[in-house]
Structure 1
């Protein structure tokens, strides 16, 4: 359990999903923990399961567990916590959930959009009287968690309401992931540079809870599968712009690096040299190379070296720039890759003095 820095952001490798642990030394002098999502159901035993048991063993709690939206690669492992017989007193361990859900009772569908898992989570919270903050959208007041400020950047009230209505009325039929032949990983940087951006229009992705996390001088963007236009609107409301950009220590690329979720404008408004990618290059072929090319060729990049932190380490990721000649020197960027499970990548800040 990290106790060397005042705040850390631990991205656990869950084979292409999102599983994030924020740990920080609060204004009360105690260590605090926030979880975001958890990955596919099968990944609970490899990632959040051992992590939560470690939190319990040292006598700590989870202040908030943010469930960004109901796609299986985000919500799946959350249900593993409720089924984990090794962890008792679950209500005491997780103080609050942040989770958008429909209050209605509906039929249980199949598919990669996990309305079933959403229903299971909603019902478990209600049956066990576990607090859950809902609805959550950009009209929600910022949270101050013992010195860690959480500002909601997505969804806006309209998209949150649309997703709730879809949950209530519609049985999703499921979606088929992209085939290897649809990947752009074998295309050259030059071929992908300057391609017109088309924003993701998936309403479930648009319902993602995305946040700006601030702790003392540290700022981080954790964007789940959000739509960039919504993030831009929120940053504009916070008075950030191309001329007055938001400087962050790192930005998690939305939707695992999908080309429809990071546009040139958000790269103008957000100033950073560090980007985190949760896609593994296999599931839905995320990240798209087109997205990475936007990062390394953008106009306002300047002479600084960019760092791309891959939460996973797969041959597919390591080969993305394999077709390009000397790409790292030509475009001034580095790639780093993580380890599997609990030992995966951590970005830690504000070292504690001995």
Structure 2
């Protein structure tokens, strides 16, 4: 039987994903999506060495966006004097790729320095960036259209030009030599100004699922989110994409004929309440959801997001896949909740984290 598998490496609060596919276990190809934090690099390096030793290829190295919990591990790869392997293609919306976009938006620096460093490292290596797009930015231009890539069918859901324009303006202002914020401020540090919220003492789904404010940060909005299809099975990789664009893209893709069948969803923004919405879940014919985060920094997954899955997912039986067993994920394995809402949980067998899911 053909193989289509998503592996979520232990990436702290971030994403480091490997999508493996092929006609058999002996004929696999791979896509690497994001690299997690710097501490993720040893685990990713080991996986890449194994892939190389088997004579297999990484068809695509995809950096979804420049936030530290996605780019740091890939920067380690790009700056390694002896990288374990060379990917056949690289997708990344760096500043140079955004050069033809019209600026719009405001100032809120997140990972611009790392983004510039990554661009320099890729240029030094000579790895082709966005070759399938003529070296230009990767973005939606109208209705999402499936296209063939390295034996997969890929459909781009995010970003669009508006999301990239907002990022470009912030990036340009960060590069601007005008006086910046003083030491110790968020602007000077270039980090997300979010905290870890307390976890509720009681997981009351009927109270938690209520709507909340939506993610509007420019780096997250610039995320490259895709549907990957192989042998009739489909995975939605949501990156940290904004829910308004994911919803718009899914609606356009369905063209009035829904729901949209997906076999596995990697939740956007690590299961943030600002990115996982009722409207998106109701559009999806999918009962399997993967959540990549340790919860150590920002407290993801938010209980509101999980509650919405249990409340609004139209599929009768649901499975939640966590790449960490943590104080914010294991409470969802309570028998009374699983019985009431007809779902199950899957956790890593290794205490260090990481999980593989056959699609």
Do they superpose with TM above 0.5? yes
Give the Cα separation in 1 of the matches to 2:351 and 2:17.
Answer: 11
Task: Tell me the equivalent position of 1:289.
Answer: 303
Q: 1:284 to 1:14 in 2, by over 3 A?
A: same
Q: 1:169 aligned to 143, 167, 173, which one? A: 173
Q: 1:98 aligned to 91, 109, 114, which one? A: 91
Give the Cα separation in 1 of the matches to 2:127 and 2:351.
Answer: 27
**Shift in Å, 1:334:** 1.2
Give the Cα separation in 1 of the matches to 2:262 and 2:53.
Answer: 33
Q: Deviations over 1:214-253 (max 9, x none)?
A: 1121011000100111011111221255x61111111111
Q: TM-score, normalised by structure 2?
A: 0.83
Q: 1:348 to 1:191 in 2, by over 3 A?
A: closer
Q: 1:341 to 1:76 in 2, by over 3 A?
A: farther
Q: 1:156 aligned to 154, 160, 168, which one? A: 160
Give the Cα separation in 2 of the matches to 1:74 and 1:232.
Answer: 23
Give the Cα separation in 2 of the matches to 1:82 and 1:222.
Answer: 23
Q: Deviations over 1:55-94 (max 9, x none)?
A: 1112222111110000010011001112334536x5xx21
Checking the alignment, whether the CA contact within 8 Å between 2:322 and 2:345 is kept in structure 1 is yes
Task: Tell me the equivalent position of 2:20.
Answer: 23
Tell me how many residue pairs correspond in the alignment: 330
Give the Cα separation in 2 of the matches to 1:137 and 1:339.
Answer: 37
Q: 2:274 aligned to 230, 251, 260, which one? A: 260
Task: Tell me the equivalent position of 1:301.
Answer: 314
Checking the alignment, whether the CA contact within 8 Å between 2:300 and 2:328 is kept in structure 1 is no
**Pair 1:115 & 2:129 matched:** no
Task: Tell me the equivalent position of 1:13.
Answer: 10
**Shift in Å, 1:158:** 1.1
Checking the alignment, whether the CA contact within 8 Å between 2:240 and 2:270 is kept in structure 1 is yes
Q: 1:178 to 1:124 in 2, by over 3 A?
A: closer
- State the SS of the aligned residue for 1:170: helix
Question: Which deviates more from structure 2 when the two are superposed, residues 34-43 or residues 335-344?
Answer: 335-344
Q: Which runs of 5+ in 1 are unaligned?
A: 105-110, 350-354
Give the Cα separation in 2 of the matches to 1:161 and 1:228.
Answer: 17
Give the Cα separation in 2 of the matches to 1:188 and 1:159.
Answer: 34
Give the Cα separation in 2 of the matches to 1:154 and 1:176.
Answer: 21
Q: Which runs of 5+ in 2 are unaligned?
A: 98-107, 131-135, 176-186
Question: Which deviates more from structure 2 when the two are superposed, residues 95-104 or residues 31-40?
Answer: 95-104
- RMSD over aligned CA atoms reads 2.8
- State the SS of the aligned residue for 1:326: helix
Question: Which deviates more from structure 2 when the two are superposed, residues 17-26 or residues 264-273?
Answer: 17-26
**Pair 1:251 & 2:253 matched:** no
- Where relative contact order (Cα < 8 A, 6+ residues apart) is larger, the structure is 1
Q: Deviations over 1:80-113 (max 9, x none)?
A: 112334536x5xx212110001129xxxxxx992
Q: Deviations over 1:176-208 (max 9, x none)?
A: 56445x234434315634422321111111010
Task: Tell me the equivalent position of 1:197.
Answer: 212
Give the Cα separation in 1 of the matches to 2:174 and 2:89.
Answer: 28
Give the Cα separation in 2 of the matches to 1:58 and 1:347.
Answer: 20
- State the SS of the aligned residue for 1:33: strand
- State the SS of the aligned residue for 1:280: coil
**Shift in Å, 1:26:** 6.7
Give the Cα separation in 1 of the matches to 2:200 and 2:300.
Answer: 9
Checking the alignment, whether the CA contact within 8 Å between 1:11 and 1:21 is kept in structure 2 is yes
Task: Tell me the equivalent position of 1:347.
Answer: 357
**Pair 1:332 & 2:342 matched:** yes
**Pair 1:36 & 2:33 matched:** yes
Checking the alignment, whether the CA contact within 8 Å between 1:17 and 1:74 is kept in structure 2 is yes
Give the Cα separation in 1 of the matches to 2:32 and 2:198.
Answer: 31
Task: Tell me the equivalent position of 2:57.
Answer: 61
Give the Cα separation in 1 of the matches to 2:351 and 2:93.
Answer: 27
